[in-house]
Amino acid sequence: MRINNLPQEFKKALPVIDKLNQAGYEAYFVGGSVRDCILNLPIHDVDIATSAFPAEIKEVFEKTIDVGIEHGTVLVLHQDESYEITTFRTESTYQDYRRPDHVDFVRSLEEDLKRRDFTINALALNAQGQIIDLFHGLEDLQNKRLKAVGIAAERFQEDALRMMRGLRFVSQLGFDLEEKTQAAITTHAPLLSKISVERICIEFEKLLLGQNVQQAFQLFIATDCFKYCPELSDKRHLLRQMSEILRFPIEDLSVAWGLLIDQIAIDSKHQKAFLKEWKLSNQRIHEVLLLREALEIIKQRPLDVLDYYQLNETCLTQLFYIAPFYDLALSKESLLNQYRLLVIHSLKDLAINGNDLMRALNRRGGLWLKETLAHCERAVLLKEVANEREALLNYAQEFVNLRNKTAD
Ligand code: ATP
Ligand code: MG
């Protein structure tokens, strides 16, 4: 197969390949970009593989950065882009079911393509637009089939992460897992326990955000991969129920995690610990927990002014995205409008602060101050008092008087 009109991303990078060719080396576009080009999908990172050894790559180009020279990867800066150029390599002796012990640089493209995970990822494209397809990757692309290169069982024994990569490609591409590949994943799923949570999480998140999440999620369960992911091992039944509601793509990562903790019934006390086990960032955890709180409310009743005040625009947008999974129809415009219409959005917006209150009421700080401010805040939100200094100070004085009386 020949690609006549190379996509812009490749055209831009052609001089890099040409330079290597002129210096006497082979060089090809490889990996996801070739696959995505044939599928007419957007291309993100353009990876280049070459027969030149790292030191030789560095001789050919003026501007290079060593990003992983021990693995044969050199970053080449060309115009305003950077390209990862990796020497053809074989990987050997995977003693721990993850990452090879060491890599050997080789001069043969075939050796390099052989060590790749799936046939659709083992295509190479040369400067003339010719596809090199040694493992029937084109046929598999055509048939929408995800098939391991060579003997599937061996490939997953070498690197167990490939199983999770496989499931996420199913989700992203909507391909079927080839029978032997699926059988090998099911047999070797326990090896996932050797892989770090962080690396599993990257693939799992891509799986959750893929266009065909339902299909992939069902395979995640059917192959037993879920059993070797944090805190999921005893959740087969709940995960299966969850797979039923995944009828459309998930828009956002916090929505994905929010759905997961809700569907597998992680109670509020353990939600944070669950998300921490997955090594999510504090920022992500915060977003997910807030979304979950909003979801709990919206399942019962519409949000009121005080609810809106606890939330923010990001959370409300996520609430809009999560709602259809519960057959709730929310309007994003309306949610955001309600929020924007709040008289204040934080205590900072209140026309008085703690100092104003202490001065006006001639009192020192203490619990009364916190309570009075909270009372004013609430009253302003509920439009019981205007957000104006004089009105609020009077309102606060009344509240403090009343508070003192009840204390007597
Ligand atoms: P994406 O579009 O998400 O970047 P990708 O296929 O390009 O998908 P990368 O992680 O960027 O994935 O890897 C680039 C290429 O390197 C893959 O297409 C594949 O050929 C090879 N590769 C990556 N990870 C592995 C692995 N664990 N085992 C074997 N080959 C791999
Ligand atoms: Mg890639």
The per-residue pLDDT for range 101-132, each reduced to its tens digit, is 678 899 999 999 999 999 999 999 999 999 99
Quick one: pLDDT at residue 40? 94
**How many C-beta neighbours within 10 Å does residue 360 have?**
16
Quick one: pLDDT at residue 102? 75
Alpha carbon distances (Å) from 275 to 210, 238, 315: 20, 17, 17
Total domains present in the chain: 4
From CA 351, how far away is CA 3, in angstroms rounded? Answer: 65
Let me know whether 41 and 136 are in one domain.
yes
Protein residues with CB under 6 Å of any ligand 1 atom:
31-32, 44-45, 47, 116-117, 121-122, 159, 161-162, 165
Quick one: pLDDT at residue 95? 62
Q: Model confidence over 215-228: pLDDT tens digits?
A: 999 999 999 999 99
User: Which residue, among 173, 239, 242, has the nearest Cα to 206 in the 3D structure?
Assistant: 173
Mutate to test the pocket of ligand 1, among 45, 121, 209 (most ligand atoms within 8 A of CB): 121
Let me know whether 194 and 286 are in one domain.
no
Let me know whether 75 and 153 are in one domain.
no
Residue 115 is labelled as binding a ligand: no
Structural domain for 256, as ranges: 252-342
Over the chain (408 residues), the average pLDDT of each successive run of 10 is 91 96 97 96 94 95 89 90 93 65 87 96 97 98 98 96 98 98 98 97 98 98 98 97 97 98 92 98 98 97 97 98 96 98 97 96 94 97 97 96 84
Let me know whether 2 and 85 are in one domain.
yes
Block residue for tokens 């200094």: 389
Residue after which a domain boundary falls, among 249, 272, 293: 249
Quick one: pLDDT at residue 166? 98
Let me know whether 85 and 162 are in one domain.
no
CATH number of 220's domain:
1.10.110.30
Let me know whether 336 and 269 are in one domain.
yes
Let me know whether 334 and 211 are in one domain.
no
Let me know whether 21 and 149 are in one domain.
no
CATH number of 92's domain:
3.30.460.10
Structure tokens, 298: 């919206």
Nearest CA to ligand 1 atom 30: 116
Instruction: Give the DSSP H or E segment for 291.
Output: helix 282-300
Let me know whether 16 and 106 are in one domain.
yes
Let me know whether 108 and 217 are in one domain.
no
Residue after which a domain boundary falls, among 326, 342, 358: 342
Quick one: pLDDT at residue 320? 98
Tell me the chain's radius of gyration from C-alpha atoms: 28
Residue after which a domain boundary falls, among 121, 143, 165: 143
Let me know whether 5 and 67 are in one domain.
yes
Nearest CA to ligand 1 atom 25: 117
CATH number of 389's domain:
1.10.246.80
Query: How close is the Cα of 44 to the center of ligand 1, in Å?
Result: 12
Let me know whether 106 and 47 are in one domain.
yes
Mutate to test the pocket of ligand 1, among 96, 103, 116, 162 (most ligand atoms within 8 A of CB): 116
Quick one: pLDDT at residue 96? 65
From CA 133, how far away is CA 138, in angstroms rounded? Answer: 7
